A and B are shown apart, each in its own frame.
Chain A
């Protein structure tokens, strides 16, 4: 088995299962097999899926800087799967909100979307993530060409929307959103080509 085959047939399935653990734990805890969800299970599930969506977008955005730093080019092979898990957890968070928290009441959902800015932000992030998930197939990617690249730059916007959504949602203590904001800042800063920016300055003056 060569390296590519190893990644495809061993490492990808392994990482896939690992990424699925938080979701399996929700199912296990909801059914009482692995534990419990506490006194307010809906809130607990909502929080878990939301937190995992944020963690996965950070992990996904960490792939490129990590690859550059380490020279491990094979890391790129996992990027799509990690991105799709970001979508999966964000979408489960969204579904929990729609079905269990808002109980499928359309008027409640519309009221929240239009009157509560933190929900508008979260919804925008889910819409963008859905667009990226739908266009994640290789065939579509090829057909879309350059516009695919442009569309998938939205991942940076999604990261900002997600952290902002969390920041505005918390009741008082912003420590956790602040941690996400700092990580996101680092991950985005790692993408700026600092040396090129520096070189361009004299040209701008001229």
Chain B
């Protein structure tokens, strides 16, 4: 074993010859990069209202997975969006004529800034980022999806929740005219979801407005939906019209429907099975008929970012 002496210089510590020669440019570039961080308004999110239009000013993120994303076809044709029907193939058909504009979002509850905001105004203060995330459905299948969205933590900060705000609740549009599935009583509409304030201010969750660099398709939750990559997919509430800061835990749709099967937390956890199936393994969509399943990872592999949020929680009880 080689033991490094205190005075030994690591290769990584040595400034490269080119950087030494161009050291003035190197310093100037750093200053410009730092300066741009202080003026986020230069990148304000503008979302075109044409279907699947290209999104501009999208930056990359270190939080992205390096796994190969699923095809756009898989992502946009295999959906659980009960407002448009119960089958996986229903949303792509029945959301065809859905109108994601004009759209407004009501922000209410324990926050300094509240009110109803037009979608464009709502988006303006934030920066668009691409976040390639794994998505694990509670039904034991998974995808990798290149979302484009805004940081939920930034959104929460923007509306300045008061000290009373312990939870953030979300609601989906509940429109019988546009959403044929709402006529059925499959769930108690509107669809509701929620996060603790600590979860909502974690760097990982986003409000997604795009996929593959384009405006998000209707069936994936246009114009704006939640993505929480370490939780089961049903936490990712779609077509959001209400955001409420609350002092008490909000009711959430699947928990209301079957509390024994779907908890409030719904963290991906291979050790806690669904009562009717194992959560230890998952089928990655897009594989061949004979492709084998893969092991499901604790917190869907995002443990380093979120495990600390639950260190005092019994995850077997708080599923």
Q: Chain A interface (Cβ within 8 Å of chain B)?
A: 30, 37-43, 45, 100, 103, 108, 111-112, 116, 118, 168-169, 171-173
Contacts and interface: CB of A to CB of B under 8 A. Distances in A.
Contact of B89 (A38, A41, A116): A38
A173 B184 contact: yes
B141 A41 contact: no
B257 A118 contact: no
A39 B88 contact: yes
A199 B170 CA distance: 63
Interface of B: 73-74, 77-78, 82, 86, 88-89, 139, 141, 184, 186-187, 257-258, 275-278, 283, 285-286, 288-290, 292-293
A103 to B, nearest CB: 6
Given A103-B293, A171-B139, A172-B86, A39 B286 contact: yes
A168 B88 CA distance: 19
Nearest to A111: B278
Contacts of A111: 278
Given A39-B78, A173-B184, A116 B276 contact: yes
B300 to A, nearest CB: 18
B289 A40 contact: no
A172 B186 contact: yes
Given A30-B289, A172-B187, A172-B257, A39 B276 contact: no
Contacts of B82: 172
B77 A39 contact: yes
10 contacts: A39-B88, A39-B285, A40-B78, A40-B141, A40-B285, A41-B289, A42-B283, A43-B141, A118-B276, A172-B258
Given A111-B278, A172-B186, A172-B257, A42 B86 contact: no
A26 to B, nearest CB: 10
Contacts of B283: 40, 42-43
Contacts of A42: 283, 289
Contacts of A100: 289-290
A40 B276 contact: no
B292 A103 contact: yes
A30 B288 CA distance: 10
Contacts of A112: 277-278
Nearest to B77: A39
B86 A38 contact: no
Contacts of B289: 30, 37, 41-42, 45, 100
A37 B74 CA distance: 12
A173 B278 contact: no
A173 B286 contact: no
Ranked 4 nearest A-B pairs via Cβ:
A39-B78, A39-B74, A173-B186, A39-B285
Nearest to A37: B289
A173 B86 contact: yes
B78 A38 contact: yes
Nearest to B181: A173
A78 B293 CA distance: 41
A43 B277 CA distance: 14
A169 B257 contact: no
A142 to B, nearest CB: 43
A136 B283 CA distance: 38
B309 to A, nearest CB: 27
Contacts of A173: 86, 184, 186
B77 A38 contact: yes
Nearest to A45: B289
